Amino acid sequence: KVDNVDNLVVARMGDSEKLQVGEEVIAAGAPLGLRSTVTTGIISALHRPIPLSGDGSDTDTVIDGVQTDASINHGNSGGPLINMNAEVIGINTAGKSLSESASGLGFAIPVNEVKQVVETLIEKGKIAHPTLGLTARSVSNDVANGAQIANVTKGGPAEQAGILENDVVVKVGDRDVADADEFVVAVRQLKIGEPAPIEVVRDGRRVTLTVTPGPDNST
């Protein structure tokens, strides 16, 4: 809560599904405590699976990031990424990503994902992400590139769908999977309780299964 904010104008929300690589953007925030800082750039890539770890947390997460060359540093996190129509199209995030020495790389959470989370929090008061009940690791060889299943939880959605250890997931829903990070992002885009196709490589053959995600223990 904040006081004396009657003069604030509500930001307009854009549609991150309409973003295009090369589109000009502005990032706003307070990097290193420097308030009211804006930087400019373009959208460098879309649907970039980026692993991030929060300060003071041992847990990594993977975002379906909008990549930009607009400078985003610590303090920009939570600030808006804005298009040339003055619409918020992402929420900037700064964290350990790709490489500590990487420069010219900024990432934002797509605004459509943000809107979905906000609506769920308002309606239900908590967030539950879809999960399949398994762990996976990246694999790349002559047979397949994807996410190799390392462990399947007994009685979980993956086991019920017939997913086996050492299966290599190459597609979830309508999204191709080339590594474990892309797998995490693809699963997050599924809907809890709604069946979805999942394609795996098993013994050199492609097999399509149907999995129904369950809720994780997020709050």
**What are 12-21's pLDDT values in tens digits?**
999 999 999 9
Between CA 29 and CA 35, with CA 33 as vertex, the angle to 5 degrees is 50
Residues 122-137 as b or e (16 or more Cβ within 10 Å = b): eeeeeeebbbbbbebe
Among the candidates 102, 124, 146, a domain finishes at 124
Predicted confidence at residue 58, as pLDDT, reads: 44
What distance in Å separates the CA atoms of residue 26 and residue 83, rounded to the nearest whole number? Answer: 6
For residues 143 and 201, the answer to whether their CB atoms sit within 8 Å is yes
Domain that holds residue 181: 130-215
Do 32 and 111 reside in the same domain of the chain?
A: yes
Q: How confident is the model at residue 219 (pLDDT cuts 50, 70, 90)?
A: low
Predicted confidence at residue 1, as pLDDT, reads: 61
Tally the C-alpha atoms within 13 A of residue 26's C-alpha that lie toward its C-beta.
Answer: 12
> Does a structural domain hold residue 202?
yes
Among the candidates 124, 143, 159, a domain finishes at 124
Contacts for 140 with CB less than 8 Å, ≥ 6 apart: 179
Predicted confidence at residue 57, as pLDDT, reads: 43
Q: What is the chain's percent helix, strand, coil content, to nearest 5?
A: 15, 40, 45
Residue 92, pLDDT above cutoff 60: yes
pTM exceeds 0.75, yes or no: yes
Do 18 and 81 reside in the same domain of the chain?
A: yes
Please state the rounded mean pLDDT for residues 178-188: 95
For residues 61 and 52, the answer to whether their CB atoms sit within 8 Å is yes
> Does a structural domain hold residue 5?
no
Q: What is the pLDDT of residues 26-39, one digit of tens each?
A: 999 988 889 889 99
Q: How confident is the model at residue 218 (pLDDT cuts 50, 70, 90)?
A: low
What distance in Å separates the CA atoms of residue 205 and residue 207, rounded to the nearest whole number? Answer: 6
For residues 43 and 19, the answer to whether their CB atoms sit within 8 Å is yes
Do 113 and 160 reside in the same domain of the chain?
A: no
Predicted confidence at residue 75, as pLDDT, reads: 77
111 or 6, which is more confident? 111
> Does a structural domain hold residue 4?
no
pLDDT over 70 for what percent of the chain? Answer: 90
Do 117 and 67 reside in the same domain of the chain?
A: yes
Q: What is the pLDDT of residues 48-87, one digit of tens each?
A: 998 876 554 444 678 899 999 998 887 788 999 999 999 9
Predicted confidence at residue 127, as pLDDT, reads: 87
